[in-house]
Amino acid sequence: MAKILVTGATGNIGRKTLQHLLKRLPAIDLVGLARDPAKAADLAAAGIEIRQGDYFEYDRLVRAFEGIEKIMLVSATAFTDRNAQHQNVISAARQAGVKHIVYMPIIHEAVSAFTLPDITEQDLFVEEKLKASGLAYTLVGHPPFIESIPFNIGGNALDTGVHAPAGAGKAGYASREDLAEAHAVVLSEDGHEYKSYALYGNPAVSFADIAQILSDISGKPVSFVAGTDQDYIDHLMAAGLPEPAARFALGWVQGVNAGEWGGKTGDLEKLLGRKPMTAAEFLRTNYAARQA
């Protein structure tokens, strides 16, 4: 089989995607791209070839992509000129003879007017460039990570309550582990070319639902504290978060309240062949450990 390369090999999603690919394919078929290959020593020890590359270094990308058939393009970090970086990957892939790119945009329904700063428009840019590239492509749309829930509700929610701006929207959160496994399925199988998946978890939950789940876990009432946007920012900052990070979190919470990620496609469950982790399962594990 021709080789599969996963970018961002030292990050959460990239590393987990390669680990799941190892369960499906021989290590000799896998390549990881990392800015600092030394940080991928565990993957190299498992037999995965690690190539050095940076999204901003076009010529090095072309060399890194030689002999690669499929690329998993792990999206660049927000506020780092994502358009230039993603365009470099797509153009370098074409020059190197890559056949297929899999990309992980944040889910954005066509009818939605909601945008995340430095996320939504840049993801749409990638989709446009992939469709015009002549390469086969697959879009594996992500909802918010389930692991972001404690970050988004801020502080010690068991004691201080679930804080969020007022709203009743729900999100179908999914775990990084389940999303990475879905990536591995798409990358290791044929038949996913030119398809778009919306990898919602199920069931979708609101912030009020999260407060009820935490109440059930802790055996004591955990309130849903609905305030203004500024109340929410102030709460996160009081818990130690810098203001820019608090404002970035606000954008995600506003999206949840707007129902931006409340869909239900079943795509994630179909790719996994099993039910994905639920928000209740994640919270039970996460907060039970905190209580221990």
Give dist(CA 253, CA 235) in Å, integer.
13
The percent of residues in the chain predicted with pLDDT above 70, rounded, is: 98
Q: What's phi and psi for 199, nearest 5 deg?
A: -90, 55
Give dist(CA 188, CA 190) in Å, integer.
7
pLDDT at res. 156: 84
What mean pLDDT, rounded, does the chain reach?
A: 95
Q: If pLDDT is split at 50, 70 and 90, which confidence band does 276 have? A: very high
pLDDT at res. 290: 62
What kind of fold does domain 3-141 have according to CATH? Answer: Rossmann fold (3.40.50)
Residue in 169, 183, 182, 175 with CA at minimum distance from that of residue 147: 175
Per residue in 36-95, pLDDT (tens digit) is: 999 999 999 999 999 999 999 999 999 999 999 999 999 999 999 999 999 999 999 999
Q: If pLDDT is split at 50, 70 and 90, which confidence band does 286 have? A: confident
Q: Are 15 and 43 in contact (CB under 8 A)?
A: yes
Q: If pLDDT is split at 50, 70 and 90, which confidence band does 289 have? A: low
30 Cβ contact list (under 8 Å, min separation 6)? 3, 4, 5, 6, 18, 21, 22, 47, 48, 49
Give dist(CA 61, CA 150) in Å, integer.
36
Per residue in 134-193, pLDDT (tens digit) is: 999 999 999 999 999 998 998 789 999 999 999 999 999 999 999 999 999 999 999 999
pLDDT at res. 277: 98
Left (φ > 0), alpha (ψ -120 to 50) or beta: where does 34 sit?
beta
What kind of fold does domain 147-170+202-262+277-291 have according to CATH? Answer: UDP-galactose 4-epimerase; domain 1 (3.90.25)
Q: Are 273 and 267 in contact (CB under 8 A)?
A: no
pLDDT at res. 154: 81
Domain boundaries, the chain: 3-141, 147-170+202-262+277-291
